[in-house]
Amino acid sequence: MSEYGIFDTTNKASSVFDTPGIVYYFSDGRGNNATQEFYYGTAGRFQGFDPVDATHLDMFFKSIKGDFTDVVRLQIASNTHKKVADALYKEFAYNNAAPLAAGTNPIVTVIDKTSGSAYALMTEIEDVSITLGTSNTYGLLGCAFTTGTATNVNDNSSQVVIPFETQTFLDAGFVNTSNTDKTVLNAGRYRIHCQLGVYDTTANYRWTANLNIRKNGTIVSTITGAYLRASGASFNTELIIDRQMALAANDVISISTLRVSTVSGAAVLVPAECALHITRLQ
């Protein structure tokens, strides 16, 4: 996350909690009648920007829910991050240089899709999503699971989704949705690490496979590896995938394999050698 935010709550003119100032309104168009459908941010609580990808820019505010961060994700015209960030910084500085005069409208609309049109402070801002109360503790939040099942991983025609049913630890911010599905509750950057131990004694098996990370049921990262000869006491192998990726709130992570070698056998997972770790980095 960017650390060059220029306003803080010691700037009395910029904080709605001290001297009255401008508040910035964001609405995602879903009706303004349920949680995280609209948001009022102030320059006093603004912390910085983070470019997520070519068309998204995150804004971070000190949370209305305590010692956390609220994330306002702007969908923007492609690669206009600096133009949008500069415009918003200038808006914050211009409107918060001094206390508001009596009778001044304190609300500046950044984007309002609920009003029936995508009115925005600038046309490059196209949409918005809001996440309240994102934890500020990074690198310490995660979940870990092992598999207790000697799952068959011989299939070479359809993905075998791996069950990780034994919970080692599960921090706040994660949900063990099912044996195969692990849900992250907060948007952020995550490290996903999976190791699978595989065993078979079928003669001359030559087992090799893909190991896949799936997000919301779709494969987003793959490695091809491992080699199980099943001859001369070569009956064990392992597959490891380790990736960092940006995840949205409520993304669901699962792991699958697919045998790519042509010789069939009866390869199974070794439960004590299989693990999945998901850790939030930012």
pLDDT at 230: 79
- For residues 149 and 119, membership in a common domain is answered with no
Q: Domain ends where: 134, 166, 190?
A: 134
Q: Let me know: does 176 contact 170? Beta carbons within 8 Å.
A: yes
Q: How far apart are CA 4 and CA 181, in angstroms?
A: 37
The 10s digit of each residue's pLDDT in 4-24 is 333 333 333 333 333 457 889
- Identify the pLDDT of residue 118: 63
Q: Is residue 145 part of a domain?
A: yes
The residue out of 134, 169, 192 marking a domain boundary is 134
Residue 215 lies in a domain: yes
Q: Which domain holds residue 179?
A: 141-280
33-47, 86-100, 238-252: least confident range: 86-100
The mean per-residue pLDDT over the stretch 78-83 comes to: 96
Same domain as 188, residue 127: no
Residue burial 161-174, b: 16+ Cβ < 10 Å; e: rest: bbbbeeeeeeeebb
* Contact between residue 17 and residue 50 where contact means Cβ atoms under 8 Å apart: no
pLDDT of 197 higher than 80: yes
**pTM of this structure:** 0.56
pLDDT of residue 137: 58
Same-domain pairing of 98 and 152: no
176 is a domain residue: yes
- Is 224 part of a structural domain of the chain? yes
Question: What does each C-alpha distance from 272 to 12, 147, 211, 227, 249 come to in angstroms?
Answer: 57, 7, 18, 19, 31
Closest CA to 61 of 19, 8, 128, 137: 8
Please check whether residue 5 lies inside any domain of the structure.
no
CATH assignment of the domain containing 247: 2.60.120.40
For residue 270, name the pLDDT band (cuts at 50, 70, 90). Answer: very high
pLDDT-derived band at 117 (thresholds 50, 70, 90) equals: low
Do residue 195 and residue 213 come from a single domain?
A: yes
Same domain, 129 and 147: no
Contact at 8 Å (CB) between 239 and 257?
yes
Looking at the structure, tell me whether residues 146 and 276 fall in a common domain.
yes
What band does 1 get if pLDDT is binned at 50, 70 and 90?
A: very low
Asked, for residue 31, whether it belongs to a domain, the answer is yes
Quick one: 123 and 202 in the same domain?
no
Q: Are 29 and 100 in a shared domain?
A: yes
Write out the DSSP string of 227-274. Answer: EE--STT--EEEEEEEEEEEE-TT-EEEEEEEE-SSS----EE-GGG-
Q: What is the 3-state secondary structure (H, E, C) of 181-212?
A: CEEECCCEEEEEEEEEEEECCCCCCCEEEEEE
Structure tokens at 81: 């991050």
AA identity, residue 69: T
Same domain assignment for residues 168 and 186: yes
Domain membership of residue 101 (yes or no) is: yes
Picking from 68, 69, 108, 71, the residue whose alpha carbon sits closest to that of residue 88 is 108
Q: Are residues 146 and 205 in the same domain?
A: yes
Q: Are residues 61 and 190 in the same domain?
A: no
Model confidence at 176: pLDDT above 80: yes
Written as six digits, the tokens of 72 are 């306002």
Rounded-to-integer distance, Cα 242 and Cα 193, Å: 4
Chain-wide mean pLDDT for the chain? 85
User: What pLDDT sits at residue 138?
Assistant: 57
> In the chain, how many domains are there?
2
Contact 131, 249 (CB under 8 A): yes
Listed residues 106, 134, 162: the one ending a domain: 134
Q: Which runs of E-coded beta strand occur in the chain?
A: 23-27, 38-42, 46-53, 56-62, 69-76, 107-112, 119-120, 125-134, 141-146, 160-161, 166-170, 174-175, 182-184, 188-199, 207-215, 218-228, 236-247, 252-259, 268-269, 275-280
Least confident among 117-126, 163-172, 230-239: 117-126
Task: Answer yes or no: is 2 within a domain.
Answer: no
Same domain, 264 and 187: yes
CB 152 within 8 A of CB 267: yes
Structural tokens at position 224: 């091809």
Q: Is it the case that residue 175 has pLDDT exceeding 60?
A: yes
Q: For the ranges 57-71, 107-121, 175-189, 261-275, which has the lowest average pLDDT? A: 107-121
What pLDDT does 8 receive? 37
Instruction: Give the pLDDT confidence score for residue 16 in this predicted structure.
Output: 35
Angle 141-147-148 (CA atoms, 0-180°, nearest 5)?
135
- Rounded CA-CA distance 279/266 in Å is 33
